[in-house]
Amino acid sequence: MRLSLTEEQAMIQDMARKFARQSLEPLAAKLDRAEDKNAEREIFLGNIKQLAELGFMGLNVKAEYGGTEAGVVAFSVAITEVARACASTAVTMSVTNMVGEVIQAVASEEQKQRYLPRLCSGEYAAGGFCLSEAGAGSDPAGLKTTAVRDGDEWVLNGTKMWISSAEYAGVFVVWAVTDTGAKRGRGISCFLVEAGTPGLIIGKAEEKMGQQASATNTVIFEDCRIPADSLMGELNDGFRVAVSELAGGRIGIGSLALGIGQAAMDYARQYASEREQFGSAIARMQGPQWMMADAYTELEASRLLVMNAAYHKEKGKPFSKQASMAKLHATETANNVCYTAIQLMGGLGYTREVPLERFARDARVTSIYEGTSEIQRVIIARELLQEI
């Protein structure tokens, strides 16, 4: 594993950092509070468009399809920098990149040419990843949405839950059961459904604890008819595709959590170096010093785990265990260090005057979506036992 970034990766990291500081950080609190939802949404989508123009919506997509072709490590460091300023923007960026990658991996050439340039350029503000359902979150093999062949069309029926960016996604990757008689996970296929297709209904946005600026919606399919060539990849092979792409998505969420945790501790560290109690800056006292030492050690461990997973994926090596380890450690660490940062700042850290309460709320969901921490432990244990 290479521990230092290449010149190109460092350039992308620097570009993401500058954009995040200049365009995202000053508006993150305003977007989180959403006092004028329409106005804030326009600002949010404007930021997404700018990220696309900078090449951040197809970082691991080939240049022939409009992507940056910078690789997984570059994607990871870019997500981390964006998340340091605005986790809501980072999750939209992460999921859209994931949608682009799954299309590149399994779609037909015609499908790639049709959808990837639109995702990468920002013509589509985002991509939607429609896998989870009310009864199929941690257990995607139990999904109930169906796709029935009717002549030259497929007819979709079912409801997807917790779909990031659904309100403004231009295309959705949708998983549905195509063989009801098959064993669990064997009769699932994957489809591409364009926004605006009759029968595709976007439900109201969820009222969430954190990541407020990023819309999360129910997506309903009611006799939604799509062309036969909307099938992506092989018939009844969709579950394998989903499992593979979720592993890649965990690198994105681990990177996002790392950025939130770093931002929280950097803010608290600066405060601790300036805040005086008992005639001295609290950063000079052993208790706060040990809190900072432990937090930054865990953050560095998270960074190395995330980089290792990204490196394995980029080199075409097995990376499922590495991705789960990275997501587990980075997301749990982000939650812990956000509370450490609040503790370091005392009562001020609990107020909305500073961003720590937002960081804590934004971090909480990272140990839930793209597979809970408990599911990551199951995956890691399974991989370890298979190695025997």
Q: Which residues contact 296 (CB under 8 A, 6 or more apart)?
A: 265
- Selecting among 370, 374, 383, 387, the annotated active-site residue is 370
CA gap 316, 324 in Å, rounded: 17
CA gap 82, 199 in Å, rounded: 35
Q: Which residues contact 68 (CB under 8 A, 6 or more apart)?
A: 12, 55, 56, 58, 59, 60, 61, 74, 120
Determine whether 370 is an active site residue: yes
CA gap 243, 229 in Å, rounded: 23
Q: What share of the chain is helix, strand, coil (3-state, %, to 5)?
A: 60, 15, 25
Q: Which residues contact 129 (CB under 8 A, 6 or more apart)?
A: 95, 98, 99, 102, 163, 164, 172, 173, 245, 249
SS3 category, 1? coil
Q: Which residues contact 62 (CB under 8 A, 6 or more apart)?
A: 69, 104
Distances (CA, A) of 100 to 115, 128, 146, 171, 237: 8, 10, 23, 10, 18
| AA letter at 53 | E
Q: Which residues contact 93 (CB under 8 A, 6 or more apart)?
A: 48, 51, 56, 57, 78, 79, 82
Contact (CB, 8 A) for 339 and 360: yes
Q: Supply the residues annotated as catalytic.
A: 370
